[in-house]
Amino acid sequence: MSTPDADPAATRLLTASSVRALAEQLGIRPTKSLGQNFVIDPGTVRKIVRTAGVQPGETVVEIGPGLGSLTLGLLEAGAQVLAVEIDPVLAGALRETVAGRAPAAADRLTVIAADALTIGDLPAEPTRLVANLPYNVAVPVLLTFLEQQRSLQEVLVMVQAEVADRLAAPPGSRTYGVPSAKAAWYASARRAGTISRSIFWPVPNVDSALVRLVRRDPPPSAASREEVFACIDAAFAQRRKTLRAALATWAGSPQQAEQLLRVAGIDPASRGERLDIAQFAALASARTAVQGTSSPHGGSR
């Protein structure tokens, strides 16, 4: 499968023709249910790796390596790569693809055939997550990794442009919602560029964008992360209502919601889309202080 290069140690990134040839050889028909749109442009791969700021020797986790387009770029930059792939055929083929196209880097790759949503501990502690995420599970996968992989300091992911907007939205903006508030618990998020549809095979029917997240400490709160997230879920479940009304079930009654909002210093007539993560944390803290810690809605993501 490998053709001799001028420099036999050089990495040969995947191109449009090699992606198709590899897929055909493996009998892969990209599926929508697994968000399988593969990057076919080496220039885009190098742009993602450069934008991510990957450093030689650091441990990077990639979710959904697919045929290896981005994996090869991460290895080319000198990273140790943990690649988590749910599709057993793709996971099984990745090692050989890398051995053929980046032989000098093959020992820096660890392939993990698993669902990123349920993976738990990784064999090493990654400091960076870089991925072209499967679009249908991008937000839950991202939040799961930020929660479970505490060593992660920075993230650069390609997601659907609309999801990138939501993740990076500040309070008060039209796109601010549950993903923005929950991501803000872990990290600051910013859009980091747009990606043309034409660099994928098959071409998706949505636009894509890069988002960068930099980990920071969560805001101070007497409530647990689960309790804060339950408060966020409740506030946005009825986003057009005032918080006094939207949080009535979460708090026990509209009166109790009003009391907790006042304890947290929040106007009961405001809406959830106005609250930043520190205010959600203060509100969940107020509930803990006034009503105790048990949260019937706790544990949601």
Is 66 one of the binding residues for ligand SAM (CB under 6 A)? yes
Is 117 one of the binding residues for ligand SAM (CB under 6 A)? yes
Q: Is 8 helix (H, G, I), strand (E, B) or coil?
A: coil
As measured in angstroms, the least distance from the Cβ of 260 to ligand SAM is 36
Return the residue of 41, 58, 76, 85 that touches ligand SAM, per CB under 6 A: 85
Helix (H) or strand (E) holding 244: helix 243-246
Where does residue 4 rank: exposed (0-12), middle (13-18), buried (19+ CB within 10 A)?
Answer: exposed
Closest CA to 200 of 41, 12, 24, 14: 41
Residues comprising the chain, all counted: 301
As measured in angstroms, the least distance from the Cβ of 68 to ligand SAM is 7
Is 126 one of the binding residues for ligand SAM (CB under 6 A)? no
Binding range to ligand SAM, per CB under 6 A, among 58-66, 161-169, 183-191, 212-220: 58-66
Is 82 one of the binding residues for ligand SAM (CB under 6 A)? no
As measured in angstroms, the least distance from the Cβ of 184 to ligand SAM is 23
Is 267 one of the binding residues for ligand SAM (CB under 6 A)? no
Which residues does 77 contact at the CB level (< 8 Å), separation at least 6? 49, 54, 55, 56
Is 35 one of the binding residues for ligand SAM (CB under 6 A)? yes
Closest CA to 56 of 92, 104, 5: 104
Return the residue of 36, 59, 144, 149 that touches ligand SAM, per CB under 6 A: 36
Helix (H) or strand (E) holding 185: helix 178-186
- CA-CA distance, 70 to 75, in Å (whole number)? 9
DSSP per-residue letters across 255-291:
HHHHHHHHHTT--TTS-GGG--HHHHHHHHHHHHHHH
Binding range to ligand SAM, per CB under 6 A, among 79-87, 146-154, 221-229, 264-272: 79-87
As measured in angstroms, the least distance from the Cβ of 144 to ligand SAM is 9
- Judged by CB under 6 A, the chain residues 161 through 220 that form the site for ligand SAM are none
Is 60 one of the binding residues for ligand SAM (CB under 6 A)? no
Strands 59-63 and 80-85: parallel
Is 86 one of the binding residues for ligand SAM (CB under 6 A)? yes
Is 157 one of the binding residues for ligand SAM (CB under 6 A)? no
Matching residue, tokens 């599970």: 137
Is 115 one of the binding residues for ligand SAM (CB under 6 A)? yes
Query: Which residues contact ligand SAM (rule: CB under 6 A)?
Result: 34-39, 63-66, 69-70, 84-87, 90, 115-117, 132, 134, 137
